[in-house]
Amino acid sequence: MAELAAVIASTHHPFYYRASTAQGEDRPAFADEWVRKITAFRETLTRANPDVLVMVGSDHFHQLWLDNMPQFLIGKAPFYDANWYNEEREFGLPRMLLKGQEDLSGYLLREGLDAGFDLAFSNELRIDHSITCPIITLRPEADLPIVPVYTNIFAPPLPQPKRFVQLGRTIRELIESWPSDQRVAVIGTGHLSLELGGPRQFGEHGPDPEFDRRAVEWIASGDLEGCLSEVTLDSLHAPGNATHGFMDFMLMMGVAGEGAKADYVDTLDLFHTMEAYFTWYPKGAPAA
């Protein structure tokens, strides 16, 4: 059977690529520290030596719109075009072409349906920065096949937080039952407190530092019970108008497992958001 080699969760700041490649007067003062932290974080995936990446993210109204908004969707294509024109224009993100792992996509779709998740799928999925940003930070060679998993965190009615956790648990069960000798890493990205287009967007830190502190503690300690007891669809409005992306972190906690303490934790407080990076090794940390 396949082996779950690593579970990795992070934020996905679209300006990292531009900040990290800028030179001279265009290079932000925080870029060097950010690059240092990302370089260390990247090593956690390299050490896991995966063969395939299951990538959990959320479409930012690029391909999916209110005329057809699935709650959970699996990409099932041989290749994925990546990044959209506005992401190239605003964030400087490059065009990318990523190879798909169709066998695993098909397995997760079929077995996920049988496990109680009415998953949507797409054979023509163009992906955006929620998936390409962690590839840029964690595997810039972009040489591993992927299985994209999109969740709805933007367009109400949203699934309940517990449903994200349940999907995370199911994804792990299905990966570990996949009849293959492949090593699989699951990488998911979301948000801590986040404000988009609102009065708290460009503060000195994230819009709700106290929520960020508790969120990092929940994730790092694997405290799913405590997290689920406090986080609701209504409560997520208070830390910032885009904080429902935290549910993708909850999905990743479901993959990691109840009480699973992260093997790697790091954060970076930028000018308007807290960046956070977590890695779990289900079979124990590989040798350095």
pLDDT in tens, 232-274: 999 999 998 889 999 999 999 999 999 999 999 999 998 788 9
pLDDT in tens, 37-48: 999 999 999 999
Beta-bridge partners for 161: none
pTM of the entire structure?
A: 0.95
The better pLDDT of the pair 85, 262 is held by 262
Q: How confident is the model at residue 17 (pLDDT cuts 50, 70, 90)?
A: confident
pLDDT in tens, 204-217: 777 889 999 999 99
Beta-bridge partners for 139: none
The better pLDDT of the pair 67, 197 is held by 67
Region 53-82 average pLDDT:
92
CB-CB contact of 199 with 251 (8 Å): no
- Full 3-state SS string of the chain: CCEEEEEEEEECCCCHHHHHHCCHHHCCCCHHHHHHHHHHHHHHHHHHCCCEEEEEECCCCCCCCCCCCCCEEEECCCEEEECCHHHHHHHCCCCEEEEECHHHHHHHHHHHHHCCCCCEEECCCCECHHHHHHHHHHCCCCCCCEEEEEECCCCCCCCCHHHHHHHHHHHHHHHHHCCCCCEEEEEEEECCCCCCCCCCCCCCCCCCHHHHHHHHHHHHHCCHHHHHHHCCCCHHHCCCCCHHHHHHHHHHHHHHCCCCCCCEEEEEECCCCEEEEEEECCCCCCCC
What's the mean pLDDT when you consider all of the chain? 93
How far apart are alpha carbons 158 and 209 in whole angstroms? 24
Angle CA 272–276–282, to nearest 5: 165
Which superfamily is assigned to 3-280 in CATH?
Answer: LigB-like (3.40.830.10)
Region 33-60 average pLDDT:
96
CB-CB contact of 143 with 135 (8 Å): no
Among 150, 52, 65, which Cα is nearest to 98's? 52
Q: Who's near 251: CB < 8 A, 6+ residues apart?
A: 56, 151, 164, 165, 167, 168, 171, 188, 190
pLDDT in tens, 145-184: 999 999 999 999 999 999 999 999 999 999 999 999 999 9
CB-CB contact of 10 with 215 (8 Å): no
| pLDDT at res. 276 | 96
What are the domain boundaries of the chain? 3-280
Query: Is 288's pLDDT higher than 70?
Result: no
Query: Is 84's pLDDT higher than 80?
Result: no
Query: Is 53's pLDDT higher than 70?
Result: yes
